[in-house]
Amino acid sequence: MDVLKAGIRHPLFREPLIPMVKPYKWYGCSYYWGWLEDGFCSVDGGCIGYMYALCGWLVLTSPRGLRDKLSWMLKHVVLLIAVSVFYLYGAIWLLKRPRVDSMEELYRVFYIDFLRLKPGHVEVVKLTDRELVTISRNPCPILKLSLALGMDTRYTCKLVSETVCRFVLKHIDEDLEFERDYSHIRPYKDGCLERIYLKSHTPSIQQH
């Protein structure tokens, strides 16, 4: 059965439960009343299919004001899940008790080990014994998520990425500060400009 034409059918109903007549744009993806076309999920008549179809139906058939509120809520639920998963990953990674004694070592530990970036994806703009400035051009999951949700990365990255990065760096060394230049961030620029520096007068990062 072609669900795009016939709709979702339930064994107890003769008619389609949710008619799939015309495409809608929702969160940057093509939906046919809840059917996600780009491969994240598919409606096959199972419980997951009904859940996605119901969510799409609730948003698309609600009054405009309510629809906007539902859309805002759903987007922020996704962001909450994203930041929770990132925090969990950071907490588990910190169990290794990473130790660094220089900014050069911090570059390797933070960008290569923790963020799992390839060296070719990170341009080192400045590197001293007290400061590390980089531009990242890696395939970024938060960037992809933001584009899919139709949200501004200057908001989502500050909420999801920056909070966890600060959390991890503070556990590496409490004197480390993390800054991101939100005037130089993707997709508005070709990369994301970040700065990590020591706020104290200690000559180098202290080992724990």
Q: Which of 131, 117, 134, 133 is nearest to 205 (CA)?
A: 131
What's residue 180's pLDDT? 97
- pLDDT score of 70: 80
pTM: 0.67
Residue 177, φ and ψ in degrees, nearest 5: -120, 145
Burial of 124 (0-12, 13-18, 19+ CB in 10 A): middle
The torsion of the CA quartet 33, 38, 163, 115, rounded to 10 degrees, works out to 160
Number of C-beta neighbours around residue 164 at 10 A = 22
Token couple for 151: 């949200």
Spatial neighbors of 113 by CB under 8 A, at least 6 apart, are 93, 98
pLDDT of residue 66: 75
**Helix, strand, coil percentages for the chain (3-state, nearest 5):** 45, 15, 40
Residues of the chain with pLDDT under 70: 1-65, 201-208
Domain ranges of the chain: 3-61, 98-198
Give pLDDT, residue 17: 37
Per-residue pLDDT at 53:
56
